[in-house]
Amino acid sequence: MLTIENILLDYAQSLQGTEQFPLVGWQIHSDKKNVIQQSWQLQIGEDSAFTQILHDTGRMESVQSQNIQLTGIELVYSRRYFVRVKISDNYGEESSWSQPAEFITGLPAEKWQGAFISAEQPEDNATSKGSLLRKAFYLDRVDDISSVVVHASALGIYQFYCNGQRVGNDELTPGWTSYHHHLLYQTYDLTPLLQEGKNAVAASLGAGWYKGDMSFNRYRNYYGDRTAFICQVVIHYKDGRQQTLVTDELWRASDSPVLFSEIYDGETYDARLEQAGWNDADFDDSQWRSVSLIDADKAVLRPQGTATVQQIETIDPVAVLITPQGDTVVDFGQNLTGWVSFTVKGNVGDKVVLRHFEVLDADGNVYLANLRTAKQRIEYTLKGGEEEHYHPHFTFQGFRYVKIESWPGTFDIHQVKAVVVHSQMQQAGDFSCSNPHLNQLHHNILWGLKGNFVDVPTDCPQRDERLGWTGDAQIFCRTASYLMQTRNFFAKWLTDLRHDQTAEGGVPHVIPDILTDRCDEDRFLAQGNTHSAAAWADAAVIAPWTIYLMYGDTTTLRNQYASMKGWIDFMRAHAVDNHWRYKLQFGDWVALDAKEGSYFGATPNELTCMAYYAWSTLLFAKAAKVLGHEADYQEYVALYQRIVHSFQQAFFTPTGRLAVRTQTAHILALHFNLVPDAFRERTINTLLELLAEHDGHLVTGFVGTPYFCHALSQNGHAKEAWDLLLKDDFPSWLYQVKAGATTIWEHWDGIKPDGSMWSPDMNSFNHYAYGAIGEWIYRAAAGIDTDESGPGFKQIRLKPLIGGGLEWLNARYHSLYGDINVGWKVVPAGEGVSRVTMEVDIPPNTQATITLVDAEEIIADDGLTFSAEGGDYQAVTGSGYYQLEYRCSMPQ
C-alpha cells in the first residue's frame, strides 16, 4: 500500500512562523521494492478539513519529493494554513491524501506596529535582575473569533503568558543571535487561551546574552544596557475583520522575584517577592509603574519557526554522596546541560543553594576550578508554608553533579530532577554494536551534542565561555547531522555568521561575534581585533556545503553564497603565491605534539592555512556549480588548482616526502586530496610510521583528529582505522570512556591516568570537537553515506567496513526520505575467512549503491545483481529491505 508518512515544512513537522510559503517534502511508505514516485499533487487549505482550498497544484509529473518550492502563493500574515499531498508511483498505485501538516505565517517587518518596551532605566545597566510586563484588554464575543496569534521577541530573554498560563514550550527565547542584524521572534497560537471579557498578556524578562556578563572577558551590555520586550497579538474574526494588540506605552511594569540571572552565574530568586496572579486578567496592576520605550530596529526581526530551545527530557538522580570534605552532592549519572527542578517545603526565608559542576576530583571532592569565574549557582528563598516548586528561568548550567550548599530540613533524593535543555531537533541517528565501549562512545558523542546545541553550537556549556566557536562547529557539523536533524539549527547560526563577517570577508572566531572588538585582554587573542583563523573561519564554506550534502538544501547554500565567496576572497587577498596567513592562527589546537606549555600543535600554520584554503575553494567551486554560477565555478576551480600546485611545490620534495613530519600534516594532505598521485603511497606509509612511533596512538588536535580514520580507511587501511578507534589507553577516544566519561572531553587527558586534572584554565568535560569521529562511525563503519550527485540521500552509498573485531553492528539514519538501516554480523568460517550477513533497508524514492568490501564470494544476493569492482562487489538498487550474505577475508 502506498502512503505518505510525514510531510515536512522547511524540514520540520510543523512550523510556527514563516514569512513565505515553506519548502515542502514528504516521506513515502510502500510494501513494494524499487518504488519511485511518478507524480504529486499538493493542496493548501485554510482549515484541516480542506473545505476552503487556497491553492491546488494539480497533478505534477515529477519524481521530486523533497525541497519543493512553490512560488506565487499569497498568504495572509498571522494565519494558520494546512498542507496535504498525494502521490502516484511507478507501479501505477496512487496514495490517498496525507494527513495535513500545518504552519502559521509570521509577521513581515513592515507590519510590526508594536514598540520595544522596558521596565528598566539606564541606571539598571549594571544589574541582571528580572522584570515583569503586562497588559489587560477586553474581548466582547469570543465566538466570533476564528484565530488569535502572537508574535513576540525581546532584547534579553523572555517568557510569555496569557491569562495566567505559560504560552508555548520554548525556553531562553528569542535565543542568541547577532541582535543588531538578526533578531528572531517566536509565533504562538493564543486562540484556546482567550476568554470572554477581560484578558491579559504578560511577559517576564531576564538579561540573557543581550546585556549580561559574556565571554571570558566578562564584558557587560555588549548589545545593549536595558532588556526590552515586543509583541503583536493579531486577532482574526470570522467575518474577515482583524484586531491588533501591541506593546506600547500603556503596558505596565514591575520588578520580578528574579533578583539576578545570568548565563554563566545562575539565578537568585526570592519567592517572597512573588505577586500572586501577576499574569492573570483580574490582577490589579495599579501600583505598577509605566514602561519605557526603547529605540531598536524592528527591520531586523525574523521568524523562528523551528529549532527553538526546549525542555527535552528529565533525569532522576542516581545517588546522593557525602564527599570526604563533608559536602552533600547529588549525582545525576550524566553530564548534561539544563537545570535542576526541585520541590521544597520550609519556613519563610529558608534558602536552597545549589552549585553545579562536572566532575569530582581525585579524592572524590567537589571540583569547581575548571568553571573558571562561572558560578553556576542557584539560590532560592522560600516564601514558606506549602510545598514550593522551582526551576531557573533565564540561565542554564553544564553539570553532572550538584552540591547542596543549603537546604531546609532533610534533603531527599526524590525532591530534585535534572531537566535537559537544548534546541529541539529530531534525532536522526542510532548506533549499537557488540563492543559496549564503542556504544558508550556513541552515547558520549550524542550527549556532547545535546549539551552544546543550546541555540548556538557552543564549545562548552559550563565555564565562562559557552561561545559559538566556528572551528568546533565546522569539524562536528557532519557528525551532528547524522545524530540529529540539524538543518534549521545550522541555517540559523550561519545567518549570524553571514551578518558578523567583516566587510572584507573575514570570519570571526565565534558566532555570534562578541570577541573581535573586545579581545585585547584575552590570553589567547592578545594580538587584538583578530579573526579569520584557518579551519575555524572555513566554517563559512564547509558548514553550508555539509548541509547541502546531508539535506539537498540549496536554500542555505544560496543564502550563504556571498558569505562563502567573501571568505575565499579574503584568503586570496591575503595570499602571496597562494600562501595565505592572517594574524592569530590556532593551527592543530591542543594537539599532543605541541611544545610543553603550549596549546598550538606542531603542524605549522603555513600548511594548515594552505590546506584549508584549497579545500574551501574546491567546495565553493562545487557550490557555484550547483547554483548555476558557471563563471564563478570556472574561476574558483582554476584558483583551487593553483593552490594545490603551490601546496605540492611547497611541501613535497621531488622524491615524494611530505616535508612536515606530523600526523596532522599527512592527514590533511591525504583527506583534502593534496597529494600527487605518484606520492600517495609514500604519504600513507609515512602516516602509518608516525602512528607506529606512538604505539598506534594519535597525537593530533582539533584539525587532524576528525579526519584521521578517514585518511586511513580511504587509502586502503581500514584495519588501522579500526585499531585507532578502538585504542583504550591514553590518548584515545575509549580512554575517556573507560575513565567514566558520559560526554566528550576537551582534552585527551582531561583526567590523567593518575586521577589528576589537566590545567583548570581550559578543561571542559563536555566539549564535542573530538566527537567528530562519529562521522566515521556512520559513514565508514556502518557505511551510510550520500552521493554528491544526489545529495540529501536521494542517491545513497552503502559501503560498510567490516572490522574492529566486532561480531555485529546496527545503524540507522533517518534521512529526509525515511530510515536507512544497515546491520552486519560476522561469523568466522575458518582459515582466515569470515561469513558476513548484512541487512539493509532503503527508503522509497531513492537509489542505493551497495558495496561489499573485500568480498570473495556472494552466498545470498536477495535478487540483486552484483559485479566485481576493484576488489569489491557492487550492486545498484532501489528501495526495499534486502538480506545479503557473503564470504570475505577475516576482518582483523
Helix (H) or strand (E) holding 643: helix 630-651
Whole-number Cα distances in Å, 395 to 172, 339, 458, 593, 873: 8, 8, 15, 38, 54
Phi, psi of 447 (to 5 degrees): -75, -25
Q: How far does CA 226 lie from the centroid of its chain?
A: 29
Q: Report yes or no: 379 and 351 within 8 Å, Cβ to Cβ.
A: yes
Residue (of 11, 3, 7, 8) closest to 481 by Cα position:
11
Distance CA 839, CA 882 (A): 6
DSSP 23-50: PEEEEEE-SSSS--EEEEEEEEESSTT-
Spatial CB neighbours of 731, under 8 Å, sequence gap ≥ 6: 592, 697, 698, 699, 748, 749
Distance CA 608, CA 77 (A): 49
Q: Report yes or no: 298 and 307 within 8 Å, Cβ to Cβ.
A: no
Residue (of 700, 866, 846) closest to 769 by Cα position:
700
Helix (H), strand (E), coil (C) string for 532-601: CCCCCCCHHHHHHHHHHHHHCCHHHHHHCHHHHHHHHHHHHHCEECCEECCCCCCCCECCCCCCCCCCEC
Distance CA 660, CA 37 (A): 52
In the block, residue with C-alpha cell 493579531: 234
779 DSSP 8-state letter = I
Catalytic option among 171, 267, 465, 606: 465
Distance CA 556, CA 756 (A): 45
End-to-end CA distance of the chain, in Å?
44
Around Cβ 255, how many Cβ atoms within 10 Å? 16
Adjacent-strand bridge partners of 258: 269
Distance CA 369, CA 786 (A): 44
Distance CA 366, CA 539 (A): 37
In the block, residue with C-alpha cell 523551528: 306
Distance CA 360, CA 447 (A): 19
Grid coordinates representing 301 are 526581526
Adjacent-strand bridge partners of 696: none
Q: Report yes or no: 420 and 333 within 8 Å, Cβ to Cβ.
A: no
Catalytic option among 388, 606, 746, 775: 746
Distance CA 49, CA 29 (A): 23
Rounded CA Rg of the chain: 28
Question: E strands of 671-798, at which residues?
Answer: 784-786, 795-798
Around Cβ 574, how many Cβ atoms within 10 Å? 18
Q: Is 746 a catalytic residue?
A: yes
- In this structure, the chain runs to a length of 892
Residue type at position 267: E
Around Cβ 756, how many Cβ atoms within 10 Å? 10
Question: E strands of 289-369, at which residues?
Answer: 289-290, 292-294, 301-303, 309-315, 319-322, 328-344, 351-357
Distance CA 305, CA 312 (A): 17
Q: Is 465 a catalytic residue?
A: yes
Cα angle at 476 between 336 and 359, to 5 degrees?
30
Grid coordinates representing 575 are 595570499
Q: Report yes or no: 696 and 724 within 8 Å, Cβ to Cβ.
A: yes
Q: Report yes or no: 696 and 404 within 8 Å, Cβ to Cβ.
A: no
Grid coordinates representing 505 are 570577508
List active site positions: 465, 746
